[in-house]
Amino acid sequence: MQLTLNRTKLIVASLVLLALGAAAGYAANKYSKPKSVIHVVTLYYKDGTTEEQKKAVLDGIEKMASEIPGLKNIWLKSVKVQGVYMEKQPDGSMKARPFTDAFVMEFENDAAFQAYANHPSHKAWEEIYVKVRGRSSTHDITN
């Protein structure tokens, strides 16, 4: 009887230690360093740009994602956008123009990112985008 009780205590203690070890491993921050390319664009639109025109820009990004090989993820809803462009005024003074919008595209790899620039879908989207873009800043990031 005592032997069975000791075995039971040993098994329970082992299970508790195993569970604690698993919990500690699960709680550890896990991350990876993918080889994809992240294309981050911050911008402000030209004065007078309508909400419909802005929607056309974002719809165009979604269309590109469905047509350009290697464009695997997109982010279209700006949560927080930082940065300004100092714009020279006709009188020579400078005016701070804050960036107001952002979007992100993720490409499988550098080859897919390079091919995107000359893809017909990208060229068609630029016809919509360039007409309403005030200024933009791009950041291309990989590992």
- Same domain for 100 and 54? yes
pLDDT tens digits for range 22-33: 666 667 888 999
Residue 38 has pLDDT above 70, yes or no: yes
Residue 12 has pLDDT above 70, yes or no: no
Both tokens of 83, joined, read 């940065």
Confidence at residue 30, expressed as pLDDT on a 0 to 100 scale: 87
Give the helix ranges, DSSP H, for the chain.
2-27, 51-67, 110-116, 120-132
Q: How far apart are CA 30 and CA 121, in angstroms?
A: 36
Q: What is the mean pLDDT of the chain?
A: 89
- Same domain for 101 and 120? yes
Both tokens of 138, joined, read 């791009």
What is the side-by-side order of every strand in the sheet holding 71-75? 71-75, 101-107, 37-45, 133-141
**Can you give the pTM of this predicted structure?**
0.76
- Same domain for 61 and 2? no
Confidence at residue 132, expressed as pLDDT on a 0 to 100 scale: 98
The total number of structural domains that make up the chain: 2
- Same domain for 26 and 44? no
- Same domain for 44 and 104? yes
- Same domain for 3 and 42? no
- Same domain for 19 and 61? no
- Same domain for 93 and 118? yes
Residue 127, domain extent? 37-141
pLDDT tens digits for range 96-105: 999 999 999 9
Q: 51-68 in b/e burial notation, b at 16+ Cβ within 10 A?
A: eeeeeebeebbeebbeeb
Of 4, 25, 6, 26, whose CA–CA distance to 14 is shortest? 6
CATH number for 116 = 3.30.70.100
Confidence at residue 11, expressed as pLDDT on a 0 to 100 scale: 66
- Same domain for 78 and 119? yes
Residue percentage of the chain with pLDDT more than 90: 78
Cα 123 vs. chain centroid, distance in angstroms?
A: 21
Q: How far apart are CA 39 and CA 3, in angstroms?
A: 65
